[in-house]
Structure 1
């Protein structure tokens, strides 16, 4: 007995597949560029970027679980990634002064320097990946949606 697929769910599934394809294409393009020019993965760039946006004051520093949420990784994967970046001298960890159980992570000067060097590569690769994807009929509406999120100056 065959059932007729629900058209709404079918359309939703197609949209999800297109969104997933767009994400994968963009991430792969940026990954290749960052690896080739800076020996940095997309995830490493993302962690450096998130941690670099921290600030002093209430709620300014992120705990490891908040970093994991921000870069969409498990806590164990985030910890391994932070360990690698710390081993490279790009991050440093310290205990929270008000809660000795909390461990915070800061970007070192070397990490900030690498992030500044890598940001134009990341931005260019993102632009290239979006331009390429915009030429694909199934991805063009999603590219337009992403571009509409950019602030206008």
Structure 2
């Protein structure tokens, strides 16, 4: 193929596109429900909860903290969105940032005592809202197989723990 030739067009795969749309619909329904419940009960967004949760699970003593880039990857946000989110959580005294001792250019992020307390209070609310959203989604024929897949993944994760 010369540089002027274009690659052969890919065949359309409507089933793949429909599967992706169904997965996105399930995600949107779950996230919207959890957002509403967490916000009402604890003043936390889903993203804020995710940041606190990821950081609390990563903290295993010295070296268990996350750099901002690692945190952004873990919660699937851009670095700038993660920075804004961490700023808001830090203003609420739920997170703290500090310089990485071996590399003074790096910044670690960690959950404060107040952040851990709020997370401990919010985790049962989050989990209950997740179960509720999955139960509701499971009643929809097109979403039921995805709900089954999520539950299977949860069981596999429990087995690996």
TM superposition score normalised by structure 2: 0.87
| Runs of 4+ more than 2 Å apart | none
Task: Give the distance between the partners of 1:107 and 1:124, measured in 2 at CA.
Answer: 23
Which whole-Å CA distance do the structure 1 matches of 2:31 and 2:76 have between them?
A: 13
Q: 2:25 aligns with which of 9, 21, 27?
A: 21
The one of 93, 106, 110 equivalent to 1:106 is 110
The alignment status of 1:77 with 2:81, answered yes or no, reads yes
Cα deviations across residues 55-110 of structure 1 (Å, max 9, x unaligned)? Answer: 2245x221101100111110000000000000000011110110000100110000
Secondary structure of 1:150's counterpart equals: helix
CA distance in 1, matches of 2:91, 2:74: 22
| RMSD over aligned Cα atoms | 1.3
The secondary structure found in structure 2 opposite 1:11 is helix
* Residue 149 (str. 1) matches residue 153 (str. 2): yes
* 1:138 is aligned to 2:138: no
Counterpart residue number, 1:96: 100
Matching residue within 48, 58, 61 for 1:56: 61
Q: In 1, distance between residues paired with 2:118 and 2:65?
A: 21
SS of residue paired to 1:149: helix
How many residues are paired up?
146
> Unaligned stretches of 5+ in structure 2?
1-10
| Matches of 1:35 and 1:126, distance apart in 2 | 14
Structure 2 residue aligned with 1:11, among 9, 15, 18?
A: 15
If the length of structure 1 is used for normalisation, what is the TM-score? 0.92
Partners of 2:154 and 2:75 in 1: CA distance: 19
Cα distance in structure 1, aligned partners of 2:57 and 2:102: 21
Structure 1 unaligned spans of 5+:
1-5
